[in-house]
Structure formats: C-alpha cells, structure tokens
Amino acid sequence: MGKVVMYASVSVDGFIADKHDQPGPLFDWLLSGDVPLDDSGELKVSQTSYDYIRPYWDQIGATIAGRHVFDLTDGWDGKPPGGVAHVVVVTHRPKPEGWDPEAPFHFVDSIKAAVAKAQELAGERIVEVAAGDVGGQVFAAGLVDEVRMDVVPVVFGSGKRYFGSVHAQHLLEDPDVVIQGNRVRHMRYRVRR
C-alpha cells in the first residue's frame, strides 16, 4: 500500500482558510512563477516549486476529503482536482441527488473506511488526505505517514486549522524537506511512530 500523506497550503499561524472558508492569499504562490504546473496553463509556479510539487502530484492515486470541502467546491463538477483518479468523501449524508454514478467519487461514513477505500483505489500510489477537520481526524487516529505543508507568508489570526480539532500532542520527525519557492516554503515531515 502507498503511504498516507496529509497536505495543504497553510498560513504561518496554521490555518488553511479564514473563518469564512476563504483561502485568501494561500494559493497566490500557484500563480507567482512562470512554469506551468498542469495542463490548464492557469497554475504557474517557480521552477523550484514545480520540481517539488509536480512529482508529488503525479504519485497521488486517491484523495480523501470531507463533505464540507466537497460541498464548497460543488464536487469539483464531478472531476477530481489536480488530475487525481479518485476522491473519497467522508460524510454521514447520502451522495447528492442526481450525482453522476460514473464520476470517480466514493462516499463513505468514517475515516477508517475512507483510508481503506482510498488505499484500495490507490494501490501503491499515495493516498492524499486534505488537511482540516477530516485530515486532523485521520492524523489523530495514527493513519497518516507524512505531513506536507506549503507554508505561505500570511497570518490569518483565526480560521480553519490545518490539523482540524486535534488537541493532543503528536510528534513529527525533523523536516526532511524544506524548499523555498516564490511566496511559499514547502515542508515535509514524517510522522513519528
């Protein structure tokens, strides 16, 4: 099975969105360079960020997200973001009425079911867990192998926390990657077991 990675862009003070679910300048780094990150041509990053992010994106086999993010994005119009093959949505509600049964989205009712389904779908590829409430629950359950953060130089003061409602102490290894891009610092930590 592939490793489970918790990931998001995050403010210096640990938030992935403001209190109104808006990312503000957290994604400005995705527009701050001259190297296209994907086929859309809309995302352009520095060469340094491209060399770090593109290989990671190419390894993702499935993404886990919560129903809140799914609803905020309108289900990405049935097309997983970033070219990911599958999205597993953690929810206690049924899938939306009229949802395309062929869309590669899978609805489950627990984080353990989400990780199991995502690992089945991803095989040896990475299972990415969106940071926030669901990501924090997966992390607190000891199911995350690695934490990746794209730290953006902004302070929100309040909002949606990277680790959701995790309140207990958890140790990470020293960062094994620290890369400076334009308007972002990419960091990767292994979770201490």
pLDDT tens, residue order, the chain (193 aa): 889 999 999 999 999 999 999 999 999 999 999 999 998 889 999 999 999 999 999 999 999 999 999 999 999 999 898 889 999 999 999 989 889 888 999 999 999 999 999 999 999 999 999 999 999 999 999 999 999 999 999 999 999 999 999 988 999 999 999 999 999 999 999 999 8
Which residue blocks in the chain are alpha helix, DSSP H? 47-59, 67-72, 111-122, 133-140
Cα 39–Cα 35–Cα 60 angle in degrees, nearest 5 = 55
Provide the pLDDT for residue 83. 83
Rg (CA), the chain: 16
pTM value is 0.94
Do residues 89 and 74 touch, judged by C-beta distance below 8 A?
A: no
Which residue blocks in 88-192 are alpha helix, DSSP H? 111-122, 133-140
Do residues 153 and 10 touch, judged by C-beta distance below 8 A?
A: no
CA distance 2 to 34: 32
Provide the pLDDT for residue 39. 86
Q: Please name the amino acid found at residue 118.
A: A
β-strands 146-152, 184-190 pairing:
antiparallel
Each residue of 105-118: b (16+ CB within 10 Å) or e?
bbbbeebeebbbbb
Is residue 108 classed as helix, strand or coil in its secondary structure?
A: strand
CA distance 52 to 84: 17
